[in-house]
Amino acid sequence: MSQGICTLSVDSLSQLFYQELKNSTGAPEGGCQKLSQRLATEVGRICSESDRIQASGDVESWATSLGKHRLDQCLKYYNLGSRQGRVELHSTLSAIVYRYITPPQVQTSYQARLGLIEDFLQGFYVEALNAFRRENQIGDRYQPRTLLELAEFMAFSERYGKRRIPLPGRRSQQLIILRAQTFSRQQPPELAIDIEQATDYGGDGDDLRPAASHQRVREEMIAQADDLPENSLRGRVVEELLAYLKERNQDECADYFTLRLLDLPTPEIESLLNLTPRQRDYLQQRFKYHLLRFALSHNWELVHEWLEAGLETNLGLTTQQWQQLQETINAKQTKLLALKQQGVADGEAAKILAMTPTQFQKQWTKLLEQAWEIRNV
C-alpha cells in the first residue's frame, strides 16, 4: 500500500483497539470507541506521512505496532489511576527537564529548581492540551473528564514532550527540552530568590499557594503519600540527605540522587546529566561515599529508624547476625553498644569509656559499619 492506510484499515485498527480496551478496562463503550477511533486515525496519519514507513512495504504492520504502543501507554496511565498517573507523568517529565531548568547566571538551590519545574510544567500541560485538541480536531473547550480520557491525555502529553524536533546541522532535540531552555532564558535572575522565599513560606496569611506548591512538587518527585507513616519517614530521609549534600557542595550527587529516586535507567541518567559511563560511575561512587557517611554518622538514627534497624531491634540484625557482631567487636565497643542500648547520652557514655567525643563518635561509626556489612552480606 504505497499511499498509506485506506479507510477500511483505519476502521479495522479502531475495532482492534476497541476490543482490547473493552477487555482491559471498565470504561463505557462510548469512551472506548472514541479513543479507539482517535488512535487509529493518528497512526494512519503517521504512516501516510512517513516516507520510511511507506518504503518499508509493510505499512499495516507498522500501523498495528504504533497503535499498540499508544494503547499500552493509555492502559498504563489508566491502571495507575488519576492521582498516581499524574505523579508518574510529572516525575517522568521532571526528570527530562531537571538539568535545563536553571535561570542564566544564577546558582539555584534544589528547592528553587523544583519550584521552577512546577511552574514550567503547568504551562507545558496547557500547551499539550491545546496540541491534543488541535491534532484530534476536537473543540477548544474539550477537557478530559473520565479516567480513560485522562489516561489518553497523559499518554499523549508524554509522547508530545518526547517528540524529536529537527535542528540545524542534522541534529534534533526533544520538544520539552527546547521549551524548558526557552523558559529558563526568560526567567529574571531575581526570580530564584523569589522562589526560594516562596518555598520557605511559613506565615499565617491567607495565600498558602507557595507552601502548597512546594509540597506538591516534593510529593511528585519522590512519589509518596504523606498519609502513610513509613512514606513520611522516607520523605524525611530524602530531604535530610539532600540538605546534607547541599551543605557539602555536592550538587552533582544531589542531582544524581534525585534521578535515582525516579527509578530511571542508567543510560537515561547519563544522558540527563551529560555524563560518560565512566564519569557516571565516578559520580555514583562519590554519592555512595556520602550516603554511607550520612547513614552511619550524620543522621544514623533517622536512617536506621526508616530501615527498621534501630537499637531496639539489634540494628536490624537476626539473632545469628547479632551473635556474629558480638564476636567481631572489641570489649570497648561491646560496652559502648550496651550504653547506647541503655539510652545513655553520648557525652555521658564517652566519659564512662574515658573517650573524647570525637573518639566516641568514631568508635560508634565503626561499629555501625560492621553491623551494616553483616546485615548486607
DSSP string for 138-167: --TT----SHHHHHHHHHHHHHHHH-EEEE
Q: Say if residue 96's pLDDT is above 80.
A: yes
The candidate with the shortest Cα–Cα distance to 217, out of 306, 101, 132, is 101
Rounded CA-CA distance 124/180 in Å is 9
Over range 125-144, report the average pLDDT. Answer: 89
* 3-state percent helix, strand, coil for the chain, nearest multiple of 5: 75, 0, 25
Q: Say if residue 319's pLDDT is above 90.
A: no
Q: Say if residue 220's pLDDT is above 70.
A: no
> Is residue 325 a part of any domain in this protein?
yes
Rounded CA-CA distance 315/293 in Å is 17
Mark which of 282, 307, 332 sits at the end of a domain. 307
Over range 112-128, report the average pLDDT. Answer: 85
CB 278 within 8 A of CB 268: no
Count Cβ atoms below 10 Å from residue 54 Cβ, excluding itself: 16
Rounded CA-CA distance 361/369 in Å is 12
- Greater confidence (299 vs 338) lies with 338
Lowest mean pLDDT among 81-90, 101-110, 300-309: 300-309
Lowest mean pLDDT among 2-11, 58-67, 185-194, 361-370: 185-194
- For the chain, the first-to-last Cα distance in angstroms comes to 60
Cβ within 8 Å of residue 79, ≥6 positions away: none
Q: Say if residue 302's pLDDT is above 80.
A: no
Over range 319-323, report the average pLDDT. Answer: 81
- Residues 257 and 316 reside in one and the same domain: no
Return the bridge partners of 164, or none.
174
> Is residue 133 a part of any domain in this protein?
no
Over range 270-285, report the average pLDDT. Answer: 84
| Measured CA distances, 235 to 29, 55, 81 (Å) | 41, 52, 22
- Residues 303 and 330 reside in one and the same domain: no
Q: Which of 144-153, 160-169, 266-275, 357-366 has the highest mean pLDDT?
A: 144-153
- Residues 234 and 297 reside in one and the same domain: yes
Q: Three-state SS for 173?
A: strand
Mark which of 277, 307, 337 sits at the end of a domain. 307
Mark which of 307, 328, 360 sits at the end of a domain. 307
Structural domain boundaries enclosing 300: 224-307
Binning pLDDT at 50, 70 and 90, where does residue 289 land?
confident
Rounded CA-CA distance 69/24 in Å is 15
Return the bridge partners of 172, or none.
166
**pLDDT at residue 297, rounded to an integer:** 63
- Count: domains in the chain: 2
Of how many residues is the chain composed?
A: 377
> Is residue 209 a part of any domain in this protein?
no
Q: Say if residue 42's pLDDT is above 80.
A: yes
Q: Say if residue 25's pLDDT is above 50.
A: yes
> Is residue 266 a part of any domain in this protein?
yes
> Is residue 353 a part of any domain in this protein?
yes
Binning pLDDT at 50, 70 and 90, where does residue 156 land?
very high
> Is residue 214 a part of any domain in this protein?
no
**pLDDT at residue 161, rounded to an integer:** 92
Residue in the structure block whose three cell numbers are 497523559? 154
Over range 246-265, report the average pLDDT. Answer: 78
**pLDDT at residue 222, rounded to an integer:** 41
Q: Say if residue 49's pLDDT is above 60.
A: yes
> Is residue 193 a part of any domain in this protein?
no
Give per-residue pLDDT as tens, 323-341: 888 888 888 888 888 887 7
**pLDDT at residue 244, rounded to an integer:** 81
Cβ within 8 Å of residue 354, ≥6 positions away: none
Rounded CA-CA distance 186/183 in Å is 5
Lowest mean pLDDT among 117-121, 162-166, 303-307, 329-333: 303-307
Rg (CA), the chain: 27
**pLDDT at residue 10, rounded to an integer:** 82
Grid cell listed for 170: 542534522
**pLDDT at residue 122, rounded to an integer:** 86
- Residues 321 and 279 reside in one and the same domain: no
* pTM of the model as a whole: 0.52
Percentage of the chain beyond pLDDT 70 is: 75
Q: What value does the mean pLDDT of the chain take? A: 75
Rounded CA-CA distance 137/184 in Å is 31
**pLDDT at residue 231, rounded to an integer:** 45
Rounded CA-CA distance 337/329 in Å is 10
> Is residue 13 a part of any domain in this protein?
no
**pLDDT at residue 265, rounded to an integer:** 73
Over range 255-266, report the average pLDDT. Answer: 75
- Residues 315 and 292 reside in one and the same domain: no
